[in-house]
Structure 1
């Protein structure tokens, strides 16, 4: 059985874990001191050799992204940390920044040194004011002891970090929309190319990385490439945070090597709440195709999850037992995507609106026989045609839920209502596997599906 592996979470239960002194007592900033004895090129190569992949969803190799920067032309280049965590079900970066912000700060300094950046930005979701304040204090602590500012630790390297609070838009999790927002513009995705590595923040070469990606860098430098590649799988190396939420006995953050299975994580989390059967779950947040109990033993690495028909994404594992109406859960997610569409492109702006209307009428007992096929047709017209990945992500829970639970959609249409609703008609051709849920069960499904 794969064991949990606390690396980023190692100090979370220490007294005043967020303080610099606590971080240093556990070996913090050892990676920075070692990094400053290396050349920037050697650091980039070390991250490439480690196989560290972006932990924000797409899983693109971090070292390769750094290597895309053009040769130094004497002008500024930037590091931007994407801390705008807002995918429904995703809750790993915010607790990391709350419990151990210095992991991120040290990672920012090392990464900036590696790419030749003298001004880095951390773009934090505006709603999490407590995290914003904690990061400001963490930056101030690091500056007071000489880890930031001019001539860091006598190396001749200068760096300033700006912590920026966004205005609360899901679309700003897309890297180019984040850059526009950081520049004071409306947060909407940019046309690519040019990519941020060539023309990013203020039209200068820019690296945009997720919080967990950057926070993983100090461990690679301090403990070595072999230590990191000794975890995970051949193509999905290292450790990662797995966020378990929903109908699980002990929800929370579980740090483990990539390649662990949900069955193993559930064993660590005490199993499904109340011993009820698992009905469906998301492997990487609500914008990834749904899995069912048949996928309990799928290794949670990029290749295995992809081969099984979904995406590892942000490793936001939302678990739903068989008291949950899948149509209702998907409808709530679709409400979110329709609301958060920036409106720049027609497929996403119009498509998510109509997906929302059709799902509402199916759930409310007004569905028509052709509605399921209409949903699939709409998804087909959005997928691959929207300006950014928001439109694609909005279709994933719909198409996958129809693939696995088409009979449940049909039951809503044939029975003129939800088969999980106690007041529903007795004409349903669909029989839930367990008792009808109470209002609290339905509200929980909606909260998991539609919250930030």
Structure 2
């Protein structure tokens, strides 16, 4: 396939599409709210009303406003319906003729939508993720063609470097620097791995991208393979994401059929194939060396670095690892240029970031916002604040992050600012808490998670997370003293400074951040004991 053939496919697909498209969300969240029945009823209503000559019902990916799902959007009218029931379907279709439906209407001018800037999620909810032709019709795979025929591998690496894109998996490592390191490594065999092992509680950004626009990730991986000299890629996805896996499998088959993956991509000398590896759901496999062990068929335990995967990774070969959202940014950067991407965000945090906004919040779901937006704008404007009362704290970065108090809601959301206040970007989880939330219980919840997910390879994490959990439990039961609180803090630093991998290193963050900003809650739970162990004062 050459460029003219690709453009011909795009033209044919646009001509095939009917004048009115009814988009029904069929992502995991909306499916749980019966959206597949909604879609079927919409199709039946179109057929029964004789509108099938100009109306088609499309199953699409996530539109973002998950708390109001199932969502249905009418294109080109741009009408949105929220919380659609199967019984609403006939009313929505009837409104295509009569102009008014009984279903609950949404508003794309709502701050939840209006404040977003969609780069990665630009086509989510707009195209059928199970048809490659729809992706091609909106410009899909043209960036890969451009890279192969208009740019050399070093030029692609330079473009990614100039864009300022940093890894969206949590660490924030400069993407271009990682690509350049792999590219300069000697050896005929190199690999590209997409880390889709999204394990943070409340996080579903990567799942949504894979379900909604799988070809976007495949294109980013293929461009990366060309840039670093790799001919084989793996997508590592946890088994809890069956819909994402199903759509990825179909997308890979379609891309192979069109000659976009496999041998001689776009009739060029470049070969690139992609396989899927399904993980069992171990949180530690989000760490790159543990992930590599798992892909190789071994137990997913982290190994000491150096050497880093860029030097010696999968089966001892140079390996590039980025997460789903990172690869999903690549096509836009190649298409629009590094300068365009670098103009978005802040000086050190470029582009946009997807967050899963959850917790005690009126408007929950997925948002994509430019770096540098404040927590207050996200929580109060886009999220609508808490249903009752006031915001108490926002947890960013999942089990690896920290709890930021309401007094710091004007903190910009970028890598450096979040680190400065004791939290981190992480993969994009954002949990809002109100005044009724016990911050000590929050710290215990995340510590319990880390305790259960520790692989057990290193003693500081294996034993330290258990002891931290037990100390928190002792505090919550009112049995702890000031000495226990001091021990808790000391143990946090020990686990952080001596653990082997990122799980143990970051596990104490929720405890340390709550001690930093909500220490009075810990103090209120302490008991003061006499030397013989009898309680003298209980707070």
Instruction: Mark yes or no: TM-score above 0.5.
Output: yes
Distance in 2 (alpha carbons) for counterparts of 1:290 and 1:270 = 18
Classify 1:307/1:72 alpha carbon distance in 2 versus 1 (closer, same or farther; 3 Å).
closer
In the alignment, structure 1 segments of 5+ residues that lack a partner are 417-426, 430-452
**1:57 and 2:170 equivalent?**
yes
1:321 matched to 2:421? The reply is no
Following superposition, the deviation at residue 330 of structure 1 comes to 1.2
Partners of 2:482 and 2:528 within 8 A in 1: no
SS state at 1:209 partner: strand
**1:43-82 pair list within 5 angstroms:** 43-69=156-182, 71=184, 73-82=186-195
Task: For residue 307 of structure 1, report the CA deviation from its aligned partner.
Answer: 2.7
Task: Tell me whether 1:25 sits opposite 2:137 in the alignment.
Answer: yes
Distance 1:72 1:391, change over 3 A: closer
3-state SS, counterpart of residue 256 of structure 1: strand
1:216 aligns with 2:329: yes
Q: Deviations over 1:159-199 (max 9, x none)?
A: 11001101211110000000011111111111111111111
| Greater relative contact order (Cα < 8 A, sep 6+) | 1
Match among 519, 522, 526 for residue 406 of structure 1: 519
| Residue of structure 2 equivalent to 1:34 | 146
CA contact (8 A) 1:79 1:207 kept: yes
Indicate the SS of the match to 1:68: helix
What corresponds to 2:227 in structure 1?
114
Distance between the aligned counterparts of 2:250 and 2:528, measured in 1? 57
Which residue number corresponds to residue 189 of structure 1? 302
Superposed CA RMSD: 1.9
In structure 2, C-alpha distance between the alignment counterparts of 1:173 and 1:86, rounded to whole Å: 7
Cα distance in 2 between the residues matched to 1:72 and 1:178: 21
What is the match of residue 232 of structure 1? 345
User: 8 Å contact 1:89–1:286 — kept in the other structure?
Assistant: no
Give the superposition deviation at 1:268.
4.3
Residue 119 of structure 2 is aligned to residue 10 of structure 1: no
Aligned residues: 419
- Measure how far apart 1:414 and its partner are: 4.3
Query: Does structure 1 residue 299 correspond to structure 2 residue 401?
Result: no
Q: Which runs of 4+ in 1 moved over 6 A?
A: none
TM-score normalised by the chain length of structure 2:
0.75
**Correspondence list, 1:362-381, <5 A:** 362-381=475-494
The offset of 1:14, in angstroms, is: 1.8
Return 5+ residue gaps in structure 2 as ranges.
1-110, 530-536
CA, structure 1 residues 191+380, in 2 after alignment: closer, same or farther (shift >3 Å)? Answer: same
The structure with the largest alpha-carbon Rg is 2
Query: Is the CA contact (8 Å cut-off) linking 2:401 and 2:426 kept in structure 1?
Result: yes
- Higher strand content, 1 or 2: 2
Aligned counterparts, 1:387-426, within 5 A: 387-414=500-527
Q: Find out whether 1:253 has 2:340 as its counterpart.
A: no
CA distance in 2, matches of 1:152, 1:82: 23
Q: Which residue of 2 aligns with 1:87?
A: 200
Offset, 1:74? 4.7
Encode CA deviations 1:234-263: one digit per residue, 9 max, x unaligned: 111111112211011111111111111111
